[in-house]
Amino acid sequence: MFKTLLIANRGEIACRIIRTARRMGLRSIAVFSEADALALHVRQADEAYPIGPAAAAQSYLRGDVILEVARRAGAEAIHPGYGFLSENAEFAEACAAAGVTFIGPSPAAIRAMGSKAEAKRIMVEAGVPTVPGYHGDGQGEALLAAEAARIGFPVLIKASAGGGGKGMRPVLRAEDFAAELAGARREARAAFGDDRVLLEKYLQRPRHVEVQVFGDNHGRITHLHTRDCSLQRRHQKVIEEAPAPALSNMLRKQLHDAAENAARAVGYTNAGTVEFIVEGTEAYFLEMNTRLQVEHPVTEMITGLDLVEWQLRVAAGEALPAAWPPAPQGHAVEVRLYAEDPAEDFRPSIGRLNTLHLVPPDAGRIDAGVSQGDAVSSHYDPMIAKLIAWGERREAAVASLQASLAEARIAGVTTNAALLRRLLREPVMHGEVADTGHIARHAGRLLQQPDAAPDWMVAAIVADHCAGLDAACANPWARGDAWRVFGAAELVFRLAAGGAPRQVVARPGAGMVRVSIDGGSALQVAQHTGAGHVAFTVDGVPRRLGAMSRFPGPVWRVVDAFEPYEFSLLDPYAPVGEAAGADHRLSAPIPGRVVQLLVAPGDVVKRGDILVIIEAMKTELRITAPRDGIVEALGCAMGEGVEEGTELVTLAAPSA
C-alpha cells in the first residue's frame, strides 16, 4: 500500500477521501485554486498546494500542474474524486507515465465509456439492452432532425462526451428540435469541450436505477447492489436510496447481471457505476460512470463497506473478497443540500455561510465540504452537504432524514432545504416509487415559496423578542429599546416573515404583550417557556413552537410541520427603496458569461419571454421579461463575462 495520496479535487469529496486516508494512515495532499485557499479540504489535509486561478480550466483541470505537485510532494497515488479529471483518459495515462498510481479504471475503459455513442455500441455487442436511438458519427442538423423523426417524438438529446445532465434536452415536438439541439450543443461544448450529441427515445415515466460495480486486477468483477436516483431536477439527482425499492427479484437479478456484463465488456477495474432507466419490467442501459459516484454513501450504509478504502486497496493490487457481494442490510437514503433557489428555476445562490448548523441523522452521517463562515462561490458546484440516513426499513431512514432536516439552520445563502423536506413527505418516499419527471411534473406544489407566516406566529416572535429585551440588560439606562420610567412605550418593528414585510407595533406589559400587525386589532400574547419548546397563548388560544431557533440579527427560524419560516427584524424607518419600479432593469443574479442574446434594442417582448441566457456554476440561467415591454437598451454582449448585478436589459413600457 502506498503511503502518500494526492486528492485532485475539492469540496465534500476531497474531505471524504481525506477522512479515509487518515483512518488508513496515509498522508493526504490537497490542491487548491485561488478561490479555495481557505477551503475545508485544505484545512483538513496534511499538506496543501496551490494550482492556479479560480477557474477550473486553469486549476483543477490542469493535469500537468497537478502531476508536478505530486512530484514535489512525493505522492505515490492520485485520487481524482468525481468530476474534473476523474474520467479523463489522458490524465490517467499521464499518471502512469509519471509513475503515479491513478485511483480508478484503465485509460482504455475510461475512453470506451467516456463516449456515450461508443459505450452504446459496446453494450449492444455485449448483449446489454439499450434504448432505441441514434449514436452515429454524423452530426449535421438535417441528419439529426431526420433521425429524431425516425425514432419518433418525444426524443432526448444527450451530449456524447459527458454526463451530469449537461447537454441533455428533452424535445417533445419536431418544431422545437433545432432550438433545443443548439442549446444542448452549447452546454456540451462549455462543459466538455465537445459538442457532439446522440439521440434516444424519451421514455415518459422512467425510473433511474443504477448498480454499483467493482473490479480488481485479478479478473474479478462483482456488483454491490442497486440504487434508485429517480428524484432529479434538471437531470441532476436530488435524493438517492439503496437498495432500489419496488423491484421484482427477477428484474433486480437482470440489473445485477447486465451491470457485471457491461463491466466485463471493457475489462473494468476499481469502482464504477452502471446506470439504467427502468420502465415497467424493462431496463435499458443508460451509461457507465468510470469513477466513484456522489451517491456512494447509501451503498456504504447498506453494505458496511468503505468504498474509498476498497478503491485504494484494489489500486494497490489487492483482490476483492471472495464473499462479495455482502447481503444488503436495511435501507439508506441520501439528500443533496444545495445553495440554490428552487423557486427561481434552481438558480445557484452565492454568499457566505453565516450560519451552518446541521445535525447528522440517527445511524447516519453528513458529508460536507464547507463549514460555517465559508463562502459558496460562483466558480464551482453549489453543493453544501449530503445528509445520509440508515434504517432497518425505508420508512425509518426517511423519518430520520426528516428529523435531521428539521434541525438544519443555514443563513447567508438560499438553499433547497424546503424542497427536500417536501420531497421526503411525498407518497413516492412512503410506499410508492418516483420517476425522473416527478419534480418537474409537480413543480407548482413542490417549488413554491413558503406561505406568509400567520399572524399568531408573527405576534409570538415579537413577544419573544420583547422578552429577550427584558432579560438582556439589568441596567435600564443601558437598554436599546423603548423602556421608560413611567411604563414602556410602543415598540415599532418591520419584520420580514415571508411575503411582504410586516409593520408591527408592540406594547409590553406585565406578563403580556399587545401586538398589532399592519394596523390590525391587537393580539394579546403571553409566553411560557417549557422543556424543549416555547409555548404562547395568543388571544387565549394555546400555541406551541417546538423548533424555534434564535440567532443574532435578530433572526428567528421556526419549523412548523416541517415547513420552515424565517423571521428577521428590519429597520422600521429605512426607506423602502426602488423595488417597486425596478422591474424595468434586469440584472445578472450571479457572475457568469452571456451565451445567448435573444433581443435587440427596439424589440417588443411579452412577459415570460427569454431575453438573455447566461452560464454560471455549470448551469444555464434564463433571464426572462417580468412584464410586457420594449427593449430600451442592452448592457451586455454575446460571449461577455458579467458580474453579479450587471444590468443586462432595460425595458420600457409598451406605450413608450
pLDDT in tens, 300-347: 999 999 999 999 999 999 999 999 999 999 999 999 999 998 888 888
For residue 288, is it within any domain?
yes
**Is 265 found in the same domain as 175?**
no
237 close to 295: Cβ distance less than 8 angstroms: yes
Q: Which three cell numbers stand for residue 189?
A: 461544448
For residue 109, is it within any domain?
no
Q: Which three cell numbers stand for residue 258?
A: 447486465
The Cα-based distances of 468 to 221, 475, 480 in angstroms read 63, 14, 12
Q: Which three cell numbers stand for residue 10?
A: 475539492
Instruction: Provide the b/e sequence for 51-72 (b: ≥16 CB within 10 Å).
Output: bbebebeebbbbbebbbebbee
**Is 197 found in the same domain as 212?**
no
506 close to 515: Cβ distance less than 8 angstroms: yes
The per-residue pLDDT for 532 is: 46
- Band of pLDDT at residue 218, cut at 50, 70 and 90: very high
Helices (H), 479-635: none
**Is 194 found in the same domain as 221?**
no
Lowest mean pLDDT among 50-54, 511-515, 546-550: 546-550
- Band of pLDDT at residue 622, cut at 50, 70 and 90: confident
Neighbour count for residue 518 (Cβ, 10 Å): 12
**Is 190 found in the same domain as 136?**
yes
Please classify residue 125 by burial: count the beta carbons closer than 10 Å to its beta carbon, then call 0-12 exposed, 13-18 middle and 19+ buried: exposed
CATH code of the domain in which 630 resides = 2.40.50.100
**pLDDT tens, residue by residue, 158-193:** 998 876 677 889 999 999 999 999 999 998 888 788
Q: Is the pLDDT of residue 470 over 70?
A: no
**pLDDT tens, residue by residue, 238-255:** 999 999 999 999 999 999
Q: Which three cell numbers stand for residue 239?
A: 435524493
Of the residues 421, 446, 471, the one at which a domain ends? 446
For residue 21, is it within any domain?
yes
CATH code of the domain in which 273 resides = 3.30.470.20
The per-residue pLDDT for 419 is: 93
243 close to 229: Cβ distance less than 8 angstroms: no
For residue 514, is it within any domain?
yes
**Is 602 found in the same domain as 542?**
no
H or E element at residue 455: helix 455-472
**Is 436 found in the same domain as 518?**
no
Q: Is the pLDDT of residue 409 over 90?
A: no
Return d(Cα 258, Cα 317) in angstroms, integer: 26
The per-residue pLDDT for 487 is: 55
**Is 281 found in the same domain as 226?**
yes
- Band of pLDDT at residue 576, cut at 50, 70 and 90: very low
- Band of pLDDT at residue 477, cut at 50, 70 and 90: low
For residue 291, indicate whether it is catalytic.
yes
**Is 44 found in the same domain as 184?**
no
Backbone angle region of 25, left / alpha / beta, with phi > 0 → left and psi within -120 to 50 → alpha: left
For residue 156, is it within any domain?
yes
Return d(Cα 515, Cα 510) in angstroms, integer: 14
Q: Is the pLDDT of residue 68 over 60?
A: yes
DSSP conformation letters of 379-390: SS--EEEEEEEE
The per-residue pLDDT for 582 is: 46
Domain count, the chain: 5
Of the residues 408, 429, 446, the one at which a domain ends? 446
**pLDDT tens, residue by residue, 439-462:** 999 998 898 766 677 888 888 888
CATH code of the domain in which 537 resides = 3.30.700.30
**Is 623 found in the same domain as 563?**
no
The per-residue pLDDT for 578 is: 35
Of the residues 570, 601, 625, the one at which a domain ends? 570
Q: What is the 3-state secondary structure (H, E, C) of 308-329?
A: HHHHHHHHCCCCCCCCCCCCCC
Name the residue among 195, 206, 223 with its Cα closest to residue 131. Answer: 206
Instruction: Provide the b/e sequence for 572-603 (b: ≥16 CB within 10 Å).
Output: eeeeeeeeeeeeeebebbbbbbbbbbebeeee
- Sign of torsion over alpha carbons 563, 414, 346, 188: negative
**pLDDT tens, residue by residue, 488-530:** 567 888 887 766 678 888 888 777 888 999 888 888 888 775 5
Percent of the chain with pLDDT over 90: 59
The per-residue pLDDT for 445 is: 87
For residue 119, is it within any domain?
no
Work out the average pLDDT over 528-537.
Answer: 64
**Is 57 found in the same domain as 42?**
yes
For residue 120, is it within any domain?
no
Count of residues making up the chain: 656
pTM of the model: 0.76
pLDDT greater at residue 330 or residue 127: 330
Strands 27-33 and 4-7, sheet pairing: parallel
Q: Is the pLDDT of residue 485 over 90?
A: no
Work out the average pLDDT over 210-238.
Answer: 96
The per-residue pLDDT for 69 is: 98
End-to-end Cα spacing for the chain: 74
**Is 618 found in the same domain as 544?**
no
Cα-based angle 224, 382, 7 (whole degrees, multiple of 5): 55
385 close to 361: Cβ distance less than 8 angstroms: no
The per-residue pLDDT for 77 is: 98
CATH code of the domain in which 30 resides = 3.40.50.20
Catalytic residue among 16, 111, 291, 336: 291
**Is 461 found in the same domain as 322?**
no
- Band of pLDDT at residue 75, cut at 50, 70 and 90: very high
Enclosing domain of residue 373: 208-446
For residue 125, is it within any domain?
no
H or E element at residue 238: strand 236-242
